[in-house]
Amino acid sequence: MKQHKKSIREKSIADPINTESIEHYILRPNESFGIFKFGDKISNYLNLKHTIEDIDGYFEDYIFYELGIRIWLAEDSKEKIIESVVSSSFCIINNYNIIGMSYGQFVKLYDFICEGEDTIYLNERNRHLHHVYEFPSIGLQLWTWRNRIIEIVAYKASLDD
Protein backbone atom coordinates (compact mmCIF):
# COMPACT_ATOMS: atom_id res chain seq x y z
CA MET A 1 0.00 0.00 0.00
CA LYS A 2 2.78 2.45 0.82
CA GLN A 3 4.41 1.72 -2.53
CA HIS A 4 1.15 2.55 -4.33
CA LYS A 5 0.80 5.87 -2.50
CA LYS A 6 4.39 6.72 -3.34
CA SER A 7 3.85 6.04 -7.05
CA ILE A 8 0.77 8.26 -7.10
CA ARG A 9 2.74 11.11 -5.52
CA GLU A 10 5.55 10.67 -8.02
CA LYS A 11 3.21 10.70 -11.01
CA SER A 12 3.46 13.93 -12.94
CA ILE A 13 0.40 16.11 -13.32
CA ALA A 14 1.16 16.16 -17.04
CA ASP A 15 1.07 12.36 -17.46
CA PRO A 16 -1.40 11.29 -20.17
CA ILE A 17 -4.79 10.24 -18.86
CA ASN A 18 -7.61 8.05 -20.06
CA THR A 19 -9.88 10.48 -21.88
CA GLU A 20 -12.70 7.95 -22.31
CA SER A 21 -13.72 8.46 -18.68
CA ILE A 22 -13.62 12.25 -18.90
CA GLU A 23 -14.98 13.08 -22.33
CA HIS A 24 -16.94 15.96 -20.78
CA TYR A 25 -13.66 17.87 -20.36
CA ILE A 26 -11.96 17.57 -23.75
CA LEU A 27 -11.30 20.98 -25.30
CA ARG A 28 -11.81 21.12 -29.05
CA PRO A 29 -10.59 24.65 -29.79
CA ASN A 30 -13.22 26.94 -31.29
CA GLU A 31 -15.72 24.07 -31.36
CA SER A 32 -16.62 22.67 -27.95
CA PHE A 33 -15.65 21.86 -24.41
CA GLY A 34 -16.77 18.29 -23.82
CA ILE A 35 -20.41 17.96 -24.78
CA PHE A 36 -21.01 21.73 -24.69
CA LYS A 37 -20.77 23.27 -28.17
CA PHE A 38 -20.00 26.96 -28.47
CA GLY A 39 -22.88 28.78 -30.16
CA ASP A 40 -25.39 26.06 -29.21
CA LYS A 41 -28.56 26.79 -27.22
CA ILE A 42 -28.29 26.06 -23.51
CA SER A 43 -31.73 24.44 -23.71
CA ASN A 44 -30.07 21.45 -25.41
CA TYR A 45 -28.29 20.64 -22.13
CA LEU A 46 -30.92 21.35 -19.50
CA ASN A 47 -31.65 17.63 -19.15
CA LEU A 48 -28.40 17.49 -17.15
CA LYS A 49 -28.54 18.34 -13.45
CA HIS A 50 -27.87 22.07 -13.11
CA THR A 51 -28.68 25.24 -11.25
CA ILE A 52 -29.03 28.78 -12.50
CA GLU A 53 -27.25 31.58 -10.68
CA ASP A 54 -28.52 35.10 -11.25
CA ILE A 55 -25.66 37.59 -11.46
CA ASP A 56 -26.74 41.13 -10.59
CA GLY A 57 -30.13 40.59 -12.25
CA TYR A 58 -28.44 40.83 -15.63
CA PHE A 59 -26.51 37.62 -16.30
CA GLU A 60 -27.39 33.99 -15.71
CA ASP A 61 -24.73 31.36 -15.08
CA TYR A 62 -25.67 27.75 -15.65
CA ILE A 63 -23.78 25.59 -13.19
CA PHE A 64 -23.39 21.87 -13.74
CA TYR A 65 -22.03 20.93 -10.32
CA GLU A 66 -21.62 17.22 -11.04
CA LEU A 67 -19.30 18.12 -13.91
CA GLY A 68 -17.66 21.09 -12.17
CA ILE A 69 -18.55 23.29 -15.12
CA ARG A 70 -20.06 26.76 -15.36
CA ILE A 71 -21.61 28.04 -18.60
CA TRP A 72 -21.69 31.70 -19.56
CA LEU A 73 -24.18 32.79 -22.19
CA ALA A 74 -23.79 35.37 -24.91
CA GLU A 75 -24.84 38.74 -23.44
CA ASP A 76 -27.39 39.81 -26.04
CA SER A 77 -28.67 36.34 -26.81
CA LYS A 78 -32.45 35.96 -26.63
CA GLU A 79 -31.99 32.30 -27.48
CA LYS A 80 -29.51 31.76 -24.61
CA ILE A 81 -26.49 30.76 -26.66
CA ILE A 82 -23.40 29.20 -25.03
CA GLU A 83 -20.50 31.64 -25.22
CA SER A 84 -17.99 30.27 -22.69
CA VAL A 85 -17.35 27.24 -20.53
CA VAL A 86 -15.47 27.62 -17.23
CA SER A 87 -13.80 24.67 -15.51
CA SER A 88 -11.58 24.38 -12.47
CA SER A 89 -11.58 20.58 -12.34
CA PHE A 90 -10.44 19.32 -15.74
CA CYS A 91 -9.48 20.61 -19.17
CA ILE A 92 -8.10 17.96 -21.47
CA ILE A 93 -5.91 19.02 -24.39
CA ASN A 94 -4.17 16.23 -26.34
CA ASN A 95 -4.75 13.69 -23.51
CA TYR A 96 -3.34 15.92 -20.75
CA ASN A 97 -5.30 17.62 -17.98
CA ILE A 98 -3.94 21.15 -17.84
CA ILE A 99 -5.69 22.03 -14.54
CA GLY A 100 -2.99 21.84 -11.88
CA MET A 101 -0.22 21.95 -14.46
CA SER A 102 2.43 24.65 -14.11
CA TYR A 103 2.25 27.40 -16.69
CA GLY A 104 5.83 26.61 -17.70
CA GLN A 105 4.94 22.99 -18.35
CA PHE A 106 1.91 24.11 -20.41
CA VAL A 107 4.15 26.30 -22.57
CA LYS A 108 6.60 23.41 -23.11
CA LEU A 109 3.85 20.95 -24.08
CA TYR A 110 1.91 23.17 -26.46
CA ASP A 111 2.83 25.52 -29.25
CA PHE A 112 0.03 28.02 -28.54
CA ILE A 113 0.78 31.73 -28.70
CA CYS A 114 -0.10 33.81 -25.66
CA GLU A 115 -1.46 37.13 -26.90
CA GLY A 116 -2.17 38.79 -23.57
CA GLU A 117 -1.33 38.60 -19.91
CA ASP A 118 -2.82 40.33 -16.90
CA THR A 119 -2.46 40.28 -13.14
CA ILE A 120 -5.67 40.33 -11.12
CA TYR A 121 -6.23 40.42 -7.38
CA LEU A 122 -9.16 38.32 -6.20
CA ASN A 123 -10.55 38.11 -2.71
CA GLU A 124 -9.83 41.54 -1.31
CA ARG A 125 -9.18 40.25 2.19
CA ASN A 126 -6.58 37.63 1.22
CA ARG A 127 -5.27 39.50 -1.83
CA HIS A 128 -4.81 36.43 -4.00
CA LEU A 129 -2.72 37.37 -6.98
CA HIS A 130 -3.76 35.61 -10.19
CA HIS A 131 -2.03 35.73 -13.54
CA VAL A 132 -4.36 35.42 -16.51
CA TYR A 133 -3.03 34.33 -19.89
CA GLU A 134 -5.03 34.81 -23.08
CA PHE A 135 -4.83 32.51 -26.12
CA PRO A 136 -7.50 33.95 -28.43
CA SER A 137 -6.50 31.93 -31.50
CA ILE A 138 -7.72 28.78 -29.73
CA GLY A 139 -10.33 30.45 -27.51
CA LEU A 140 -8.65 29.75 -24.18
CA GLN A 141 -7.97 31.83 -21.10
CA LEU A 142 -5.82 30.38 -18.32
CA TRP A 143 -6.13 31.54 -14.72
CA THR A 144 -3.08 30.72 -12.61
CA TRP A 145 -2.16 31.07 -8.97
CA ARG A 146 1.39 30.46 -7.78
CA ASN A 147 2.28 29.49 -11.35
CA ARG A 148 -0.29 26.63 -11.47
CA ILE A 149 -3.32 26.60 -13.77
CA ILE A 150 -6.36 26.66 -11.49
CA GLU A 151 -9.15 27.48 -13.94
CA ILE A 152 -9.81 27.85 -17.65
CA VAL A 153 -12.33 29.78 -19.68
CA ALA A 154 -12.92 28.22 -23.10
CA TYR A 155 -14.77 30.03 -25.88
CA LYS A 156 -15.10 30.23 -29.64
CA ALA A 157 -12.51 32.66 -30.93
CA SER A 158 -13.74 35.40 -33.21
CA LEU A 159 -12.22 34.88 -36.62
CA ASP A 160 -12.86 38.56 -37.44
CA ASP A 161 -10.10 39.83 -35.12
Dump pLDDT digits (tens) for 45-83: 999 999 998 776 667 889 998 888 999 998 777 889 999
CA distances from 43 to 27, 30, 40, 64 (A): 21, 20, 9, 13
Residue 59 lies in a domain: yes
pLDDT tens-digit map of 96-112: 999 999 999 999 999 99
Cα dihedral 159, 147, 85, 25 in deg (nearest 10): 110
Cβ(140)–Cβ(112) below 8 Å: yes
Percent of the chain scoring above 90 in pLDDT: 61
CB 142 within 8 A of CB 132: yes
Domain that holds residue 22: 2-155
Q: Is residue 160 part of a domain?
A: no
pLDDT of residue 58: 67
Residue 161 counted as domain residue: no
Predicted local distance difference test score (pLDDT) of residue 4 = 34
90 falls within a domain: yes
User: Would you state the pLDDT for residue 128?
Assistant: 77
- Higher pLDDT among residues 124 and 43, named by residue: 43
pLDDT band with cut points at 50, 70 and 90 for residue 121: confident
Number of domains in the chain: 1
Q: What is the pTM of this model?
A: 0.82
Residues in the chain: 161
